[in-house]
Amino acid sequence: MSGTVTVVGLGPGSDELIVPAVISALNQATDIIGYFRYIERLQNLQNQTLHASDNRQEIERAELALSLASEGKTVVVVSSGDPGVFAMASAVFEALEKNTGYKKNTKIIILPGITAILAASARLGAPIGHDFCVINLSDNLKSRNIVEKRVTAAAQGDFVIAFYNPRSKAREKQLERTFLILKKYCEPSRLVIFADAISTKNEKVIITTLEKADTNLASMKTLVIVGSSSTKEIIGTSYVYTPRYAIEEKN
């Protein structure tokens, strides 16, 4: 008998920002797998078996999901935000690729969610109203060279840039180093935003500039946005937006 693995996104924090398809999947699950902080967010469940695990155990969670599904279970793997943006979806496919035995029988479904950059953008106004890049600053799984190459390219392309996982105890200087690269390409007054726990009671937003930004204010969970050259605050309001039009630079 063949089960399913459904990987879902719980959005940024508020239940009002979880799509109905995800709620249906949770209600129909026999087993729910996830980082314990995300499992804690689930409410009104009935007889589902909950498998909570610690951070950084993505591959173990993915393998458990595929294993339970191969026994015929209806498994849901929970991520915060969107499962496809630096979350559990890729881990499930990595595990699937490593274990060819799973492939034939396991149906995998991904259900999207409101990822941190969309939540932060909505809270601020419209900072990603123009072309943007999304970069994971964690170097657990990639080299610092690749991170630096992408930060440089994003700055050269004058993209709005959203940074996920900007800083951790193991990588205290990662965001600081990133800002040093950006300072080569961006003016000191370039807008920088730190967004935390958007849509929850602990929500916090700091609007500052590249020159003044204190990287110590960011944690692993902070979403950091660096504006493009046309991103601006509307004077007299707390709105930040990037216009849809782009002024051509003189080359």
Binding status of residue 175 toward a copy of itself by CB under 8 A? no
Task: Write down the least CB distance from residue 125 to a copy of itself, Å.
Answer: 6
Total binding residues toward a copy of itself, as defined by CB under 8 A: 77
CB-CB contact of 103 with 136 (8 Å) = no
Site for a copy of itself in 209-238 (CB under 8 A): 234, 236-237
Phi-psi region at 64: left, alpha or beta (left = phi > 0; alpha = psi -120 to 50): alpha
Task: Write down the least CB distance from residue 209 to a copy of itself, Å.
Answer: 19
**How far out from the chain centre does Cα 181 lie?**
22
- C-alpha 73/C-alpha 86 separation (Å) is 25
Alpha-carbon dihedral sign for residues 102, 11, 228, 247: positive
> Which residue, 50 or 125, is less far from a copy of itself as judged by CB?
125
- C-alpha 42/C-alpha 140 separation (Å) is 28
Task: Write down the least CB distance from residue 73 to a copy of itself, Å.
Answer: 20
> Which residue, 222 or 242, is less far from a copy of itself as judged by CB?
242
Binding status of residue 92 toward a copy of itself by CB under 8 A? yes
**Near a copy of itself by CB under 8 A: residue from 39, 50, 52, 126:** 126
Task: Write down the least CB distance from residue 21 to a copy of itself, Å.
Answer: 4
- C-alpha 155/C-alpha 161 separation (Å) is 8
Binding status of residue 191 toward a copy of itself by CB under 8 A? no
Binding status of residue 122 toward a copy of itself by CB under 8 A? yes
Task: Write down the least CB distance from residue 234 to a copy of itself, Å.
Answer: 5
**Near a copy of itself by CB under 8 A: residue from 3, 10, 31, 132:** 132
CB-CB contact of 99 with 127 (8 Å) = no
CA dist list (Å): 7 to 17, 84, 88, 144: 17, 9, 7, 29
Find the angle CA(42)-CA(43)-CA(44) to the nearest 5 degrees: 140
> Which residue, 151 or 218, is less far from a copy of itself as judged by CB?
151
**How far out from the chain centre does Cα 47 lie?**
29
**Near a copy of itself by CB under 8 A: residue from 27, 49, 157, 170:** 157
Judged by CB under 8 A, which stretch of 42-50, 64-72, 109-117, 166-174 contacts a copy of itself? 109-117
**Near a copy of itself by CB under 8 A: residue from 30, 41, 52, 93:** 93
